[in-house]
Every structure is written in structure tokens, then in C-alpha cells.
Amino acid sequence: MTGIPTRRLVLLGSTGSIGTQALDVVSRYPHIARVHGLAVGGSRPVLVAEQVLAHRPAQLVISDETRAAAVVDAVRQACSAAGVPAPEIGVGADAVVELAGSLGEGDVVLNAITGSVGLLPTLAVLSCGARLALANKESLVVGGHLVTEAAAPGQILPVDSEHTAIAQALAGVEHEQIDHLVVTASGGPFRGRSRGELAQVTPEQALAHPTWSMGRVITTNSATLVNKALEVIEACFQFDLPEDRVEVVVHPQSIVHSMVTLVDGSTIAQASPPDMRHAIGWALAHPHKLPGLAAALDFSTAQSWTFEPVDEDTFEAISLARGAHREGGGAMAVYNAVNEEAVEACFAGALSFLGITALIREVLEHPRRPRAQREDGVEGLLAVEEWARATARAQIAERAR
Ligand code: NDP
Ligand code: MG
């Protein structure tokens, strides 16, 4: 494996599902990246201390000010016990953005934060010129044109199994040769259920994903199909196509990670056993390949891969997102913000499972919903988001009464 540059790496969200798998990849292939900085929310102090000792970053940022003291204590104690210097520590959302924008060309930032709070760090990475390995799909979905216009060609490498698959399938394909993209969906734990059956499900059942092990929000989003809806929009921006050229197909085995159909009628697929380390390693090392990164498919035993249309009548998340994307003007920021509030409310027992997408629809249909103008930039989007969160919270409180 000669010729792979060792990039400085900033990892935002290092204690999460993607973050821990990324550090695993870096431990196994230490010549591809040297960990320069880590950013975390702050809920897992012991894990942060372990990561600091294992990877010795120069910088550490804790975004949640109320949790920072516990993390700082754990890290300083661990470093002093090991006889190594502690990293420079920053606290707060601004410090995350500063760390995100602190590198430059030839370096890489993996944004693995959950939620639209990842948008400002994404914009900071793009303006500093580093490669952006983007797991935080919300920043692309919410930021849309702002993000794509800030990015240099090829600067964003998607860390999402579907989009990583499409990027690989598109190698050597010209944009005008694409007919449409086919994004695969496992269908989540409630595939095949009727709306009546969905009315009974609990948040705990939503957390039992059939094929992937992921963070709590994305797992719930997979059950409502909001995750697939966000991924349709992510694909539109990442690959510069309208939503009616991004098809969704249910593929319960999660082996074909997505496909591209070309104008000549040929479909190109990328397939591998479900393992996010494949997407992470692809984005960190691109265009190099990491030998043995993840298990390959084994055709020595019989297997079947099945595909079926998605039931958009039962799961309205996708059609709502398509409408919001066609409209633009911050409608996707509203969609995502309401979903983030609704998922929290569902876990708090204040909203039913079906209530999540119902609330997204209601807030999108609100007669006084504000629009973000393109010239208002990121502030306009954040204002729309704030309105959407407040409106969603008020409607949740109303329902609970
Ligand atoms: P997790 O919830 O497991 O992890 C989120 C991480 O972000 C944690 O390290 C958390 O810290 C940290 N964090 C939270 N808020 C902030 C903040 N404001 N600033 C800095 N760090 C913060 O999420 P996942 O790893 O599952 O997902 C991350 C992103 O990747 C999401 O956008 C998701 O949609 C996407 N993705 C995930 C996949 C997966 O397989 N998990 C697959 C494809 C995409 P703390 O631990 O302290 O809370
Ligand atoms: Mg995905």
C-alpha cells in the first residue's frame, strides 16, 4: 500500500457509531490518517478518555458545556496516569466549528455528528479546503445549495452506504450518461406492516434494525423511512439530480448498497456485506483501496437478493421529502428539524411512532410557515429551523394535553 498520503484527520462525533468505527479503521490502517482533533457531545467521558490515550489528538472539543467538566476530568486524569500530555481542550458549539475549519488541503475532516447541528461545521470544513468525509447527511439535506456551492468539485466524499455505493458506481461515468439513481432501503423493522399495525409500535421496537447497528436517531429514522427520505435529498445534492431521478427500492438484505441506471439501459450496482467501515475507509483513503478493509461477499453458499417497490402510502416520509425538496426555500430544513424534535418526543413518550411523520406533514402544511430566501444564506435557514422546532414543540405539547 504505497502511495497513500497520511492525512491529518479531524473526527467530529468520535464517540458515536460512525466515529468509533472510523477510529477502528484508523487503528488498523495507521498510515492513512493521523488523528489531529476529536469533537464529541460530552455524554461519554470514559470513552473520550480512552480515545485520547489511544490516538493522542492535539485538540479535543466538547460541544455540550454542561457536560464538559466531567469529560475534562476524565481526560486529564487518564493522561496524567499514563504520563502523557493532555490535548488542548475547547468547549462549546463555536469551538466545534473552529476545529472543523482548522485544517487545510490534503487533510480530512469526518463529520459524524447527528443532526442539523452538523451544518456549520460542514461549511467550515468546505471553506478551509480540507476533504469532507460526510456522514452527517443532515447538513447536506438542510444546507442544500449553500453546501454544494461552497464545495470544490470532489471535496465532499459521502460516508453513507448508499451514496458511497453510487459514487463508486459512477466512476468513469459522465453526468449526462446517468438516467437515474436507485437508492436501496432495507425497509426497516416494520417492512410490510399496515398503518393499523404501525399505530401500536413502541420506540424500543423501532430501535431493532434488521441489518445495521447505528445511533438512536438514524435507527428511528430508518423505521419511519425518514432516513431514506433524507438520503433521496442527499443524493439530489451530492449528485446534482432532481428528486424524480432518484428512485427508492426495498432490498431487505442490505447487500446491494445502491445502483445507477445509465441512459443505455444498463444498471451498475455496488455490493458488499453491510459494514460501515467500508464506506468510512473508502472516503478516508479515496482513490486508494484498503486491502482487507471489510469482509467480501461469499458466493460459496446460496443466497438470494430481493427487490420490491417501497410502500409510500404507508410510509409517507419519502413523498413528503420529495415535495419539500421540489419546493426548496428551506422546506427541507423544516422537515428535518420537525423530525429531530419528533424523534425526541417519541422517545419521551409524548408522540406515537406514526405521529412523527404526521407532525412533519402538519408543520410543512402550516399556513404561516416561513420561507428561507437564497440570499439570506445560512442565517435564513437557521431562522426557519428555529421556527419549525418551536412549532413542532408547541404541537407536541398540544397533543399531550
Ligand atoms: P451517534 O448518535 O451514534 O453519534 C453522534 C456523535 O456525535 C457522538 O459522538 C456524539 O457525542 C457527537 N455529537 C453530538 N452532538 C455533537 C455536537 N454538537 N458537536 C460535536 N459532536 C456531537 O450517531 P451515528 O454515528 O449513528 O450517526 C452520525 C451521522 O452519520 C448521522 O448524521 C447519521 O445519519 C449518519 N450515518 C450514520 C450511519 C451509521 O451506520 N451509524 C450510516 C450512515 C450515515 P456523544 O457521544 O457525547 O453524544
Ligand atoms: Mg444510508
pLDDT in tens, 247-279: 999 999 999 999 999 999 999 999 999 999 999
Helix orientation angle between 119-128 and 377-400, rounded to the nearest 10 degrees: 160
AA letter at 128: C
CA distance 365 to 367: 6
- The Å distance, Cα 335 to ligand 1 centre, comes to 19
pLDDT for position 1:
58
CA-nearest residue for atom 12, ligand 1, is 13
Task: Determine the topology of domain 7-136 in CATH.
Answer: Rossmann fold (3.40.50)
Chain-centre distance of CA 114, in angstroms? 7
What proportions of the chain, in percent to the nearest 5, are helix, strand and coil? 50, 15, 35
pLDDT for position 180:
98
- The Å distance, Cα 154 to ligand 2 centre, comes to 20
* Local confidence band at 73 (pLDDT 50, 70, 90 cut-offs): very high
What is the CATH number assigned to the segment(s) 164-400?
1.10.1740.10
C-alpha cell at 372: 428561507
- The Å distance, Cα 65 to ligand 2 centre, comes to 30
* Local confidence band at 76 (pLDDT 50, 70, 90 cut-offs): very high
Omega prior to 5 cis, within 30 of 0: no
Ligand 1 atom closest to the Cα of residue 43 is 47
Strand partners, 247: 182
3-state secondary structure of 177: helix
Contacts of 329 (CB under 8 A, 6+ apart): 371, 372, 373
DSSP code string of 186-251: ---TTTT--HHHHTT--HHHHT--SS----HHHHHHHHHTHHHHHHHHHHHHHHT--GGGEEEEE-
pLDDT for position 2:
62
- The Å distance, Cα 194 to ligand 1 centre, comes to 31
Ligand 1 atom closest to the Cα of residue 216 is 2
SS (H, E, C) 9-38: EEEECCCCHHHHHHHHHHHHCCCCEEEEEE
Ligand 1 atom closest to the Cα of residue 221 is 34
Ligand 1 atom closest to the Cα of residue 113 is 7
pLDDT tens column, 7-34: 999 999 999 999 999 999 999 999 999 9
Return the DSSP state at 93: H
Strand partners, 7: 33
CA-nearest residue for atom 16, ligand 1, is 41
Query: What residues does CATH 1.10.1740.10 cover in the chain?
Result: 164-400
Ligand 1 pocket at CB < 6 A = 12-19, 39-44, 63, 93, 96, 112-114, 117, 135-138, 160, 212, 214-215, 218, 276
pLDDT tens column, 295-304: 999 999 999 9
Query: What residues does CATH 3.40.50.720 cover in the chain?
Result: 7-136
Pairing of the two strands 33-40 and 7-12: parallel
pLDDT tens column, 111-132: 999 999 999 999 999 999 999 9
- The Å distance, Cα 380 to ligand 2 centre, comes to 28
Q: How far is CA 151 from CA 94, 185, 234, in A?
A: 21, 27, 14
